[in-house]
Amino acid sequence: MKTTEEILAMIKTALPGAGVEFVPNPSPAAQHSLRLDPSSAFTVASFLRDHAELALDYCSNVTGVDWLGKEVTEKIKATKLVDGVETVVEETVKRTEPGYLEAVYHLYSMKNGPRESAPPTPVVIRMRTVNRTDQVELPSLTYIWRSAEFQEREIFDLYGIVFTGHPDLRRILMWDGFEDHPMRRDYVDPDDYEYEPTPHDEVIKRAEEHKAHAASEVPA
């Protein structure tokens, strides 16, 4: 299998207008990836699957990632008047980067898979939403890789990414009417333990407090 850099070069040659960015992974695994612009993701995914040399015909798994907004501190150089003289000074500025959600796909080629015993390295592609609130749409890749259907549903359920074009986008683990998305990093557990408490002391205590509060609100 070609390297991520080589695959990126192939995409740029075949699809010069497609938005694709190399994302390095500095960890020892060095599992680099390609970030696809959502507007061209379907076209790029089709290329990866259908290209005879790549033949990435199998999506093994799709995962979601929640990136919270963060404050970034950086140093910039600016020209200012110091004692009447223009001087280049270094200033520290802070800015806020908005959070976003991400879908990550691991791809393999069953057709061109290695014959040796060592497992193949996946080709990793990813897409990110504009933010975590009101612009959380990404194109579904289920029609490229059928195995993505249930996994995109799981990400929709637990992270809140809306996969446009998905053939059956509905919750798969949580029930209809459940609010919020449990895998988000700022998710807060509900304090409404109406089911049988578990053997965990903390949960039992919270359940008892909730029942006592509910009982105090019942009119005499």
Is residue 19's pLDDT more than 90?
A: yes
Q: Residue 88 domain-assigned?
A: no
Q: Residue 76 domain-assigned?
A: no
Is residue 193's pLDDT more than 60?
A: no
HEC string of the chain equals: CCCHHHHHHHHHHHCCCCCEEEECCCCCCCCCEEEECHHHHHHHHHHHHHCCCCCCCEEEEEEEEEECCEEEEEEEEEEEEECCEEEEEEEEEEEEECCEEEEEEEEECCCCCCCCCCCCCCEEEEEECCCCCCCCEEECCCCCCCCHHHHHHHHHHHHCCEEECCCCCCCCCCCCCCCCCCCCCCCCCCCCCCCCCCCCHHHHHHHHHHHHHHHHCCCC
Region 39-55: mean pLDDT is 96
pLDDT of residue 44: 97
Of 85 and 178, more confident: 178
Model confidence pLDDT, tens digit, residues 117-135: 556 789 999 999 999 999 9
pLDDT category at 18 given cuts 50, 70, 90 is very high
Of 155 and 194, more confident: 155
Contact 65, 160 (CB under 8 A): no
CATH number (domain holding residue 160)? 3.30.460.80
Whether 128 and 206 map to the same domain: the answer is no
Of 27 and 217, more confident: 27
Is residue 13's pLDDT more than 80?
A: yes
- Residues near 68 by beta carbon (within 8 Å), at least 6 away in sequence: 99, 132, 185, 186
Whether 49 and 105 map to the same domain: the answer is yes
Tell me the C-alpha distance between 96 and 69, whole Å: 7
Region 152-161: mean pLDDT is 98
Is residue 149's pLDDT more than 80?
A: yes
Whether 19 and 46 map to the same domain: the answer is yes
Phi and psi of 116, rounded to 5°?
A: -75, 170
Q: Residue 78 domain-assigned?
A: no
Tell me the C-alpha distance between 191 and 22, whole Å: 43
- Percent of the chain surpassing pLDDT 70: 91
Of 191 and 73, more confident: 73
Whether 172 and 130 map to the same domain: the answer is yes
- The model's pTM: 0.80
Which domain, by its residues, includes 213?
Answer: 189-220
Total domain count for the chain?
A: 2
Whether 144 and 166 map to the same domain: the answer is yes
In the block, tokens 């999506």 appear at 59
